[in-house]
Amino acid sequence: MASITFEGNSYRCEEGQSVLDVLLAHGVAAPHSCRSGSCQSCMMRVETGELPESSQAGIKETLRVQGYFLPCICRPGDDLTIVRPDTDTMRLEATVSHVTALSDHVVCVGLSSQTPISYRPGQFINLFKDDATARSYSLASVPDMDGELRLHVRRFANGQVSTWIHEALRPGDRVQLSPPAGDCFYLPGQAEQPLLLIGTGTGLAPLYGIARDALAQGHRGPIHLYHGSREPAGLYLVERLQELAQQYANFRYFPCLSGSEVPDGFLPGRALDLALSHAPELSGWRIYLCGNPDMVKLARKRVFLAGASMREIHSDAFTHQAA
């Protein structure tokens, strides 16, 4: 059994319990989102004590040597004294340039910064509502095309951050965000390789960025994007994606509806099922999967069984939280 000392208070950490669980159980306002070690929004720094090696998984080496770790996956065997991260190095500041409706439930948030922010389309950032509340959002923007960061945010009932974004966030507001992270993005070098992109809901955001980035970098192989929803209102950017398909001969867009209402121009069925019916043999394909965590988990298994190499299957690194 270890003890956790934080901001002058000591808490007992039971065997198998994470540091984040301990802090939250005692009412500590600790930022967090995915709780699985992927979004890194809960990152803190250890001052004394030995960290389990696994608690620094995925953290940049420059931060690891300074003692930064992820409380949500840290189950210590040693007493620890921990502090909040240095926000000057862990957070960036940006200005809201616009909040634009993409559908009845989804808005596009544009963020600009005087200091250039380096990223790849499809990576994600953590957006902070306040010091204790953050959520992860994938980047739909392409640096050389959009000139700003763009997020697609769906409103969730009683969601702290999504409600704040939809109702309170205004152009000119200053916000804090984490540096971009994640490995779900396009890499050039195999311009003829076929790409399969499957998403649901706002999982379209990273796929939209990845597809445009690949096309802008001259990708010549087929790029097939399947976006799925139950109802027509769950799909967005339909006209823009159709225009993209008309502009590029190698890009195809498939809007998929699994409910009973399927208007002309849409495909009946689930995005994953339709994608695999169109391309049942995926050996040699590069795959991108984004959206509902259950869909992504199932899709990883099914595309692998269809022949895709595990190293060619990319997905959102974090589990989306409905908030």
Look up the CATH number of the domain holding residue 103: 2.40.30.10
Is 19 among the domain residues?
Answer: yes
For residues 183 and 26, the model is more confident at 26
Q: Indicate whether 202 and 244 sit together in one domain.
A: yes
Cα distances (angstroms) measured from residue 170 to each of 85, 133, 222: 28, 18, 39
Of residues 128, 136, 133, the one with CA closest to residue 96: 128
Is 189 among the domain residues?
Answer: no
Q: What is the mean pLDDT of residues 206-218?
A: 98
Cα distances (angstroms) measured from residue 310 to each of 87, 299, 302: 36, 12, 11
Is 211 among the domain residues?
Answer: yes
Q: What is the mean pLDDT of residues 124-141?
A: 91
pLDDT tens-digit readout, 256-273: 999 999 999 999 999 999
Task: Domain count for the chain, please give it.
Answer: 3
Q: Indicate whether 96 and 172 sit together in one domain.
A: yes
- pLDDT at position 87: 58
Is 186 among the domain residues?
Answer: no
Is 173 among the domain residues?
Answer: yes
Q: Indicate whether 266 and 205 sit together in one domain.
A: yes
Overall pTM > 0.85: no
Q: What is the mean pLDDT of residues 96-102?
A: 97
- pLDDT at position 129: 92
Is 62 among the domain residues?
Answer: yes
Cα–Cα distance for residue pair 108/162, rounded to 1 Å: 12
What CATH number has the domain bearing residue 21?
A: 3.10.20.30
Q: Indicate whether 223 and 154 sit together in one domain.
A: no
pLDDT at position 191 over 80: yes
**Contacting residues for 307 by C-beta, under 8 A, at least 6 apart:** 281, 282, 283, 284, 285
Of residues 60, 65, 169, the one with CA closest to residue 107: 169
Cα–Cα distance for residue pair 58/151, rounded to 1 Å: 23
* Structure tokens belonging to residue 228: 């799925």
Q: What is the mean pLDDT of residues 147-152?
A: 96
Q: Indicate whether 158 and 256 sit together in one domain.
A: no
Q: What is the mean pLDDT of residues 267-294?
A: 96
- pLDDT at position 37: 87
Residue spans of beta strands (DSSP E) within 279-323: 286-290, 313-315
pLDDT tens-digit readout, 75-90: 999 999 999 886 556 7
pLDDT at position 131 over 90: no
- Residue finishing a domain among 56, 86, 116: 86
- Residue finishing a domain among 86, 116, 144: 86
Confidence of residue 111 (pLDDT cuts 50, 70, 90): very high
- Residue finishing a domain among 145, 177, 209: 177
Q: What is the mean pLDDT of residues 129-143?
A: 91
Q: Indicate whether 166 and 199 sit together in one domain.
A: no
Confidence of residue 108 (pLDDT cuts 50, 70, 90): very high
- pLDDT at position 226: 98
Q: Indicate whether 310 and 208 sit together in one domain.
A: yes
Confidence of residue 70 (pLDDT cuts 50, 70, 90): very high
Strand-pair partners of 130: 133
Q: What is the mean pLDDT of residues 155-177?
A: 94
pLDDT at position 318 over 80: no
Q: Indicate whether 73 and 134 sit together in one domain.
A: no
Q: Indicate whether 305 and 204 sit together in one domain.
A: yes
Cα–Cα distance for residue pair 263/216, rounded to 1 Å: 31
* Distance linking the first and last C-alpha atoms of the chain: 33
Expressed as residue numbers, the domain containing 170 is 91-177
Is 307 among the domain residues?
Answer: yes
Cα–Cα distance for residue pair 112/8, rounded to 1 Å: 37
Q: Indicate whether 40 and 120 sit together in one domain.
A: no
Cα–Cα distance for residue pair 39/182, rounded to 1 Å: 8
Q: What is the mean pLDDT of residues 233-243?
A: 97
Place of tokens 């990152």: 43
Q: Indicate whether 127 and 213 sit together in one domain.
A: no
pLDDT at position 321 over 60: no
Is 188 among the domain residues?
Answer: no
Place of tokens 């739909």: 140
- pLDDT at position 323: 65
Q: Indicate whether 126 and 160 sit together in one domain.
A: yes
What CATH number has the domain bearing residue 295?
A: 3.40.50.80
